[in-house]
Amino acid sequence: MTTRQDLYSLARHTRDAASLFVKDIGQGLLVVSHNTLALLGLAVVAVLLVFTSQAGLREKLESATLGWLHARQEARAEADGSALLLPAEPEAVARATATDPRGLSRQQAAVAHWLARRYRVAPEPISRLVQEAWAVGQRAKVEPTLILSIMAIESGFNPFAQSTVGAQGLMQVMTRVHDDKYEAFGGTLAAFDPVTNLRVGVQVLKECIQRAGGLEEGLRYYVGAANLPDDTGYTARVMAEHDLLKAVAAGRPVPANASARPLREAASAPTGESAQVAMLR
């Protein structure tokens, strides 16, 4: 027969067992949570190590994230009726042919600001062209002020200029003749990229000078007047602009409107072919 003392003892044992069970469960959950946090921390560290060691992977993730954010922004703009302001393209600045004039040497900055005033163009894109003229001129052993002078007389620094005979861009290169020179830049449409046109134009100019045996005769080849009695004053205009730019580069004061000269119309031989065409024969 069960006594009251036995019932009390049973209840106490049951309570102790339940307490131990709850305690064991709590400790187990604590251990599991600690292990989970540790695993999560290790995973975060591993991901960070991967992304810091692989710049390309990090850039792809950043680009994908930005793309998603832009897509969300466009969707909201469309919903608000302001989609005409989009799509935004924050990387467009990387395509701009522009350089801060403050990043140039004193000599280059003086030339850039003078050309900007003379041809009424922004100093930033002119600064980029001046910078490139100095770099390419050094490699090609052609005076950078001569390169800039040719651009000035040929196009007035209009990168989209085209003559009646098909010369294109800043240095008015005959694109259809020198298409092989544009292959390294992705094709002839690169003629309208200012930096590419400058580089190809200097290459053509160098070939003309070497073929003619001198600078002024080389300019006659470049303009397509090698076999003509008169180059319509082209060589004189380029050399006059060259002298002005050399004076500016030397630090001498030169008015921006000094010896202003009209842009040339492309000269053509009686056969209708320029010397740039004849060079390939």
Q: Is residue 94 part of a domain?
A: no
19 with 132, same domain: the answer is no
Q: Domain end: 30, 47, 80, which one?
A: 80
Q: Is the confidence at residue 232, as pLDDT, over 80?
A: yes
Are 170 and 159 within 8 A, CB to CB?
yes
pLDDT of residue 32: 53
Tell whether the model's pLDDT for residue 277 goes beyond 50. no
In terms of domains, do 108 and 246 share one? yes
Residues 172 and 253 in one domain: yes
Q: Which of 37-41, 240-244, 272-276 has the highest mean pLDDT?
A: 240-244
Q: What is the pLDDT of residue 281?
A: 32
Q: Is the pLDDT of residue 141 over 60?
A: yes
Give the Cβ contact number of residue 209 at 10 Å: 21
Question: Both 180 and 267 in a single domain?
Answer: yes
* DSSP class per residue in 153-183: HHHTT-TT-B-TT-EETTTTEETTTSGGGGG
Which residues are CB-contacts of 182 (< 8 A; sequence separation ≥ 6)?
A: 175, 188, 190, 191, 196, 200
Least confident of 47-56, 119-128, 229-238: 47-56
Question: How much is the pLDDT for 75?
Answer: 67
The reply to whether 213 and 247 lie within a common domain is yes
DSSP state of 269: -
**pLDDT tier for residue 174 given thresholds of 50, 70 and 90:** very high
Q: Percentage of the chain surpassing pLDDT 90?
A: 53
Residue 226 and residue 256 in one domain: yes
Q: Are 57 and 113 in a shared domain?
A: no
Q: Count of residues for the chain?
A: 281
Residue 30 has pLDDT above 70, yes or no: no
- Report the pLDDT averaged over residues 128-155: 96
How does residue 265 score in pLDDT terms, banded at 50, 70 and 90?
very low
Q: Are residues 106 and 42 in the same domain?
A: no
- Number of Cβ within 10 Å of residue 126's Cβ equals 27
For residue 32, is it within any domain?
A: yes
Give domain status of residue 157, yes or no: yes
Q: Note whether 245 and 126 are same-domain residues.
A: yes
Task: Specify whether 72 is located in the same domain as 131.
Answer: no
Chain centroid to Cα 75, Å, comes to 29
- Dihedral sign computed on CA atoms, order 148, 153, 157, 159: negative
Residue-wise pLDDT for 40-66, tens only, equals: 665 665 556 555 556 566 667 666 776
Q: Domain containing 228 — which CATH number? A: 1.10.530.10
- Considering the domain architecture, whether residues 106 and 72 belong to the same structural domain is answered as no
- If one counts the domains in the chain, the total is 2
* pLDDT at residue 269 greater than cutoff 50: no
Mean pLDDT of 117-135: 97
Question: Contact 208/279 with Cβ under 8 angstroms?
Answer: yes
Structure tokens that stand for 228 in this block: 């003509």
Kindly state whether residue 91 falls inside one of the protein's structural domains.
Answer: no
Residue from 118, 71, 124 nearest 100 by CA: 124
pLDDT at 96 over 70: yes
222 lies in some domain: yes
pTM: 0.66
pLDDT of residue 82: 53
Tally of CB atoms within 10 A around 51: 14
Q: Is residue 85 in a domain?
A: no
- Say which residue, 89 or 193, is predicted with more confidence: 193
Domain-ending residue, one of 19, 46, 80: 80
Residues 67 and 152 both lie in one domain: no
Range of the domain at 12: 4-80
Q: Among 23-27, 54-58, 82-86, 145-149, where is mean pLDDT lowest?
A: 82-86
Confidence grade of residue 199 (pLDDT, cut at 50, 70, 90): very high
Q: What is the pLDDT of residue 219?
A: 95
